[in-house]
């Protein structure tokens, strides 16, 4: 809720919601069709479910962040989010060899 003393325009908040909604409407069909067309058949179900799990976790983290945003303030909260994103990127890089091994084993030489 925007307080009367807030310097954030309600139009800016509405625009952010509209842009986020448009982005999600474009992202979902693309990722689902890319998963179906690019993944080996044995991995399509796994990656479709992982995509839905990521959306659910993202919503949960966003809801948990509301009290943290209030107590930390915008700058500190943004830095915490950057740290979480950097940690996730680092973990993906560390797990890349394992994922490659997983894909090779599960695809069973299937050509895409």
pLDDT digits (tens, 9 = 90+) for 52-70: 898 888 888 878 888 888 8
Task: Give 100's pLDDT tier (boundaries 50, 70, 90).
Answer: confident
DSSP 8-state class, residue 9? -
How large is the average pLDDT for residues 62-80? Answer: 84
DSSP 8-state class, residue 2? -
pLDDT recorded at residue 63:
83
pLDDT recorded at residue 103:
66
pLDDT recorded at residue 37:
84
pTM over 0.75: no
pLDDT recorded at residue 92:
86
Q: What is the pLDDT of residues 6-33, one digit of tens each?
A: 677 788 888 988 998 898 888 888 888 8
What phi, psi does 4 have (nearest 5°)? -60, -30
Reply yes or no on whether the pLDDT at 87 is more than 90. yes
């Amino acid at each position: 809720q925007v307080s009367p003393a807030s310097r954030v325009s309600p139009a800016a908040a509405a625009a952010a919601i509209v842009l986020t909604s448009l982005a999600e409407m474009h992202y979902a069909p693309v990722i689902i069709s890319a998963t179906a067309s690019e993944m080996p058949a044995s991995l399509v179900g796994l990656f479709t479910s992982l995509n839905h799990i990521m959306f659910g976790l993202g919503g949960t983290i966003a809801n948990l962040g509301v009290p943290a945003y209030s107590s930390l303030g915008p700058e500190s909260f943004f830095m915490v989010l950057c740290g979480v994103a950097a940690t996730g990127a680092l973990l993906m890089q560390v797990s890349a060899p394992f994922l490659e091994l997983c894909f090779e084993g599960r695809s069973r030489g299937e050509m895409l």
